[in-house]
Each structure stands twice: as C-alpha cells, then as structure tokens.
Amino acid sequence: MDDMGAIHFVAQKRHLEVVRTLLSSGVSVRATNRKGFAPLRYAVQGSHLEVIKVLLKKRASG
C-alpha cells in the first residue's frame, strides 16, 4: 500500500528493535513511499517517541 517499505511499516507500528536492525542493515532512513512520506512521518503520527529519537539520530527527515 502506497509503496510502504518495511522501515515505514515498523516505524508506524513502533517496532523499535526492528527499526534499529533495518537501519544497521543499510535501509535508508530517508526512504520515501509513493506519497513522498519518510519513516519519520509515520513514527510522529503514532507518537512513538523512542522510534522518533532513533530516526532523528540517523538524520531522518519528514
């Protein structure tokens, strides 16, 4: 749906360890879907503070 990648989905669902694993495996923190949304947007929408912190530490943008 909307070309959402794994990083988008796990950020949305607050799967912090999976977010960390994906990022350490080389998944881009700035990956966007068809709507142009990055993982940070999904973490913010869900108020997932710990995920937001991890994404920002990796220089995520919304």
Q: Which one has a higher pLDDT value, 60 or 5? A: 5
Q: Would you call 17 helix, strand, or coil by DSSP?
A: helix
User: What kind of architecture, by CATH, is found in domain 6-60?
Assistant: Alpha Horseshoe (1.25)
pLDDT of residue 21: 97
CB 11 within 8 A of CB 42: yes
pLDDT of residue 60: 78
State pTM to two decimals.
Answer: 0.88
Helices H / strands E in the chain, number of each: 4, 0
Q: What number of CA atoms fall less than 13 Å from residue 52's CA on the CB side?
A: 10
pLDDT of residue 12: 96
pLDDT of residue 47: 97
pLDDT tens for 30-51 read 999 999 999 999 999 999 999 9
* Domain residue ranges in the chain: 6-60
